[in-house]
Chains A and B, each alone.
Chain A
């Protein structure tokens, strides 16, 4: 997601953040000491609720710019309710990098938002996280069971999904669709047929941000969840079935139809150098370089920020089409809030973030989907977000982005580069599945 957007700057910002964390360490130490004394006073939940909590907590997340301001507004909502608490928010482009260094150095923030639950599993198994079962009832009230399961590691609840993303959306250039005389398709056959018609009209059907491997994993996941079904999806996620399985080959065959060189903007080698933001903007350039871009709800934010396209007249969205009557299924992502230090103020913040009110603060500002189904859809600023967010919170079948759940060495490295290899040669399905299996086998066995 956003963390990948300017990978070029990642190192720079990460280093700055490390430095900043280093400089701020003294304050953190102080707050820990101060908070420790309050912990003994307020031992139970009830007491914590009755007595006003106090202290200073540090929060780290990926959000900067408009997102950073929106999250700050959410935190301000918390400090209004708890005036004795000071919340220091810091952002980091690569929170996982900053956090793993901070944990290794013994100085993590109180609370952090992780962009991938895989990191949560990793930190939990390293013993760096504190369970948040005190908030379990509050979370159960608003969240589907699948979100609780996702936040659980080895039977303990560690994570609260504050921000979600619906990755089963397709954004298209309305004029290109009208010129070609095609309608937003609902089935996979119509989708592929529409691509042929678009191509014949002179506009390549798809814009692929192949320089960022995660756009390719998202596409694969959407196809795989539809062709293979949720059970196989879970098995593949856990590497209980190999990547050489027939279901993977079937999904890759369908994916190969999308990635055919004459279907994508600029052809294969150009797609491999197109990063995600460019893959969005070039669909809404004049003349458009492609008719549609296959990515999540956050595409809407990029269109709004970086193009002059007007909602509904210039751009629009449809749900990723069904394949073989797969029904409405959603692949999504999300940022999970975890707790590194157990303090009353930290607990209060986690409980606050689980409420629909907290989510509505950000929802009103846009660029946000909450997995919390009690969030009032009226809070979302436009029709698109209302639609994509309610699809996300109420999906019949929801599955989390597979690559985010797998060990980083595979899910956010080998899988990226191997799917990029697949984009280079979409015919070689046997070869690529063997390489995927080899990489997965080694990544899943490394302790």
Chain B
């Protein structure tokens, strides 16, 4: 701005007419006066800390020794920081694109649905929740145990309809007499012929989970021309002797027992009685195997391990998208509203399909707005920290780590590696610069 411009806006008061030099001095003073509060705050809270951090990054963790770029070397040799670099790259590659896409879809769809205000509010509300609280909420939602985590509880409810839990889901064989796994069914190792007695002892069944109506287990008498046997809870307080039917040990009623021939083909099946006994009558001579089918041991849904090592980063990312989709939707929605309706109408009149209108007209016209959302998201995810801390349990923090998170961990969680922390911060700042430049350029272009 020229000095004359300022003088017309702020004409000199009743003071004596000033010399030309005084005029230029005063012409500087006024804008400076307006800028001073902001400049002061920026210097104290942004510029000084930034420079101090850069300077600090050249010193050892205790701050007593100049180490040059050693701290920067540590960034690329520390295993956890390498994971963090990888995760940060994933965040930058996936999230801005995903958030923009989801926001665009919501914004376009929301114009066409009834109750669009209600929909907008429900998508936007997560943005009003602090990111840390969001993390706490999702940590609970993601719990593996369906009794604790809402997501796995939902899946369990659906799965429960599809596949039923076995009567003895926790049971295990009590001795080596049974082979196989509960998941694949348990088979007596030794073959039995007609007149033989099969004993199938099971343990790891809670007293409260024994099927109703069970009675003291009985070792049945041998059966002429048939095979008899017992399935029982081979446990009494203190343990008892494995593989032996003893007092206080109860039979397991309602268990389906299969008789298989030498080729493991099922030839008969029966169910156990209240004392756990069963019998196959009229069995031709030969050697047979007695087995309990896997359906008896069918496991209830144990829950997906969302917070485990392999899914933790996608899980955190999903929570992030949940939060920011609303922001993207609102910004893009505003851009949509600004698109001239007649252009769209003209395209439709010319016979363009809805998809073509979206592809060829809406998206190109929205490009500047989409760029805003995209670049804002890049800057947002580069510094992601609070969600990682809140969602990841200690056991998978390593796999979820991001640069900002490791910076906090190394410097402030009691490890006091301030040199390394300062180096990570400076490195993050370097990563920000290209996106800041893009943003500033765009502002300038818009100003023109």
Chain B: which residue is nearest A288 at the CB level?
B206
**Shortest beta-carbon distance from A264 to chain B in Å:** 13
A424 to B309, CA, bound (A): 10
Q: Which of A199, A287, A417 is the one whose CB lies under 8 Å from B398?
A: A417
On chain A, the residues within 8 Å of B18 by CB distance are: none
Let me know if A97 and B412 touch, CB within 8 A. yes
On chain A, the residues within 8 Å of B65 by CB distance are: 447
Let me know if B414 and A417 touch, CB within 8 A. no
Contacting residues of chain B (388-416) with chain A, CB-CB under 8 angstroms: 389-390, 393-398, 408-410, 412-416
User: Would A100 and B414 be within 8 Å (CB), given that A8-B136, A266-B145 are in contact?
Assistant: yes
A44 is an interface residue with CB less than 8 A from chain B: no
B205 is an interface residue with CB less than 8 A from chain A: yes
Let me know if B393 and A408 touch, CB within 8 A. no
Let me know if B237 and A210 touch, CB within 8 A. no
A218 is an interface residue with CB less than 8 A from chain B: no
**Shortest beta-carbon distance from A262 to chain B in Å:** 8
A213 is an interface residue with CB less than 8 A from chain B: yes
Q: Which of A94, A97, A213, A409 has the most CB of B within 10 A?
A: A409
On chain A, the residues within 8 Å of B417 by CB distance are: 409, 446
On chain A, the residues within 8 Å of B170 by CB distance are: 202
A57 is an interface residue with CB less than 8 A from chain B: no
B288 is an interface residue with CB less than 8 A from chain A: no
On chain B, the residues within 8 Å of A196 by CB distance are: 239
Let me know if A447 and B60 touch, CB within 8 A. yes
Let me know if A202 and B412 touch, CB within 8 A. no
User: Would A104 and B418 be within 8 Å (CB), given that A210-B395, A416-B394, A420-B394 are in contact?
Assistant: yes
User: Would A213 and B145 be within 8 Å (CB), given that A97-B412, A116-B414, A447-B65 are in contact?
Assistant: no
**Shortest beta-carbon distance from A236 to chain B in Å:** 20
Contacting residues of chain B (333-364) with chain A, CB-CB under 8 angstroms: none
Count class of interface residues, chain A: 35 or more
Contacting residues of chain A (185-215) with chain B, CB-CB under 8 angstroms: 196-197, 199-203, 210-213
Q: Which of A203, A287, A413 is the one whose CB lies under 8 Å from B409?
A: A413
Let me know if B207 and A272 touch, CB within 8 A. no
Let me know if B395 and A213 touch, CB within 8 A. yes
Let me know if B409 and A273 touch, CB within 8 A. no
User: Would A119 and B414 be within 8 Å (CB), given that A202-B205, A447-B61 are in contact?
Assistant: yes
Let me know if A94 and B413 touch, CB within 8 A. yes
On chain B, the residues within 8 Å of A446 by CB distance are: 61, 417
A430 is an interface residue with CB less than 8 A from chain B: no
A272 to B305, CA, bound (A): 10
A101 to B421, CA, bound (A): 13
A76 to B307, CA, bound (A): 45
A445 is an interface residue with CB less than 8 A from chain B: no
Chain A: which residue is nearest B393 at the CB level?
A211
Let me know if B143 and A273 touch, CB within 8 A. yes
Count class of interface residues, chain B: 35 or more
On chain A, the residues within 8 Å of B415 by CB distance are: 407-409, 412-413
Q: Which of B62, B237, B386, B393 is the one whose CB lies under 8 Å from A447?
A: B62
A238 is an interface residue with CB less than 8 A from chain B: no
Q: Which of A116, A200, A210, A420 has the most CB of B within 10 A?
A: A200
On chain A, the residues within 8 Å of B207 by CB distance are: 179, 201-202
A235 is an interface residue with CB less than 8 A from chain B: no
**Shortest beta-carbon distance from B390 to chain A in Å:** 5
A424 to B205, CA, bound (A): 25
Chain B: which residue is nearest A423 at the CB level?
B395
Let me know if B238 and A197 touch, CB within 8 A. yes
A200 to B232, CA, bound (A): 13
A199 to B60, CA, bound (A): 52
On chain A, the residues within 8 Å of B409 by CB distance are: 413
A204 to B279, CA, bound (A): 33
Q: Which of B62, B308, B418 is the one whose CB lies under 8 Å from A269?
A: B308
**Shortest beta-carbon distance from B53 to chain A in Å:** 12
B229 is an interface residue with CB less than 8 A from chain A: no
On chain A, the residues within 8 Å of B143 by CB distance are: 273
Let me know if A178 and B394 touch, CB within 8 A. no
On chain A, the residues within 8 Å of B410 by CB distance are: 409
Let me know if B414 and A94 touch, CB within 8 A. yes
B132 is an interface residue with CB less than 8 A from chain A: yes
A180 to B236, CA, bound (A): 7
**Shortest beta-carbon distance from A413 to chain B in Å:** 6
Contacting residues of chain B (130-176) with chain A, CB-CB under 8 angstroms: 132, 135-136, 139, 143-145, 170, 172, 174
**Shortest beta-carbon distance from A440 to chain B in Å:** 14
Let me know if B236 and A181 touch, CB within 8 A. yes
Contacting residues of chain A (388-424) with chain B, CB-CB under 8 angstroms: 407-409, 412-413, 416-417, 420, 423-424
* Proximity bits, B284-314, A CB within 8 Å = 1, else 0: 0000000000000000001001011100000
User: Would A182 and B394 be within 8 Å (CB), given that A104-B418, A199-B204, A203-B206 are in contact?
Assistant: no
A75 to B345, CA, bound (A): 77
Q: Which of B144, B205, B394 is the one whose CB lies under 8 Å from A7?
A: B394
Chain A: which residue is nearest B206 at the CB level?
A202
On chain B, the residues within 8 Å of A199 by CB distance are: 203-204
B209 is an interface residue with CB less than 8 A from chain A: yes
Let me know if B416 and A181 touch, CB within 8 A. no
Let me know if B393 and A273 touch, CB within 8 A. yes
On chain B, the residues within 8 Å of A203 by CB distance are: 206
A316 to B204, CA, bound (A): 23
On chain B, the residues within 8 Å of A424 by CB distance are: 309
B2 is an interface residue with CB less than 8 A from chain A: no
Q: Which of A12, A269, A409 is the one whose CB lies under 8 Å from B144?
A: A269
Contacting residues of chain B (267-297) with chain A, CB-CB under 8 angstroms: none
Let me know if B238 and A272 touch, CB within 8 A. no
Give 27 pairs: A residue, B residue, CB < 8 Å, sorted on A: A7-B394, A8-B136, A8-B139, A96-B414, A100-B412, A122-B416, A179-B237, A180-B237, A180-B239, A181-B236, A201-B206, A202-B205, A202-B235, A210-B395, A211-B393, A262-B172, A270-B145, A273-B145, A273-B393, A273-B395, A407-B415, A408-B416, A413-B413, A417-B394, A417-B395, A417-B398, A447-B62
3 closest cross-chain pairs (CB), A and B: A181-B237, A202-B206, A181-B238
Other CB < 8 Å A-B pairs besides A202-B170, A287-B206, A417-B398, 10 of them?
A8-B390, A119-B414, A197-B238, A201-B203, A201-B237, A270-B144, A273-B308, A409-B415, A413-B415, A424-B309
Q: Which residues of A contact B (CB under 8 A)?
A: 7-8, 10-12, 14, 94, 96-97, 100-101, 104, 116, 119, 122, 126, 178-182, 196-197, 199-203, 210-213, 262, 266-267, 269-270, 272-273, 275, 287, 407-409, 412-413, 416-417, 420, 423-424, 446-447
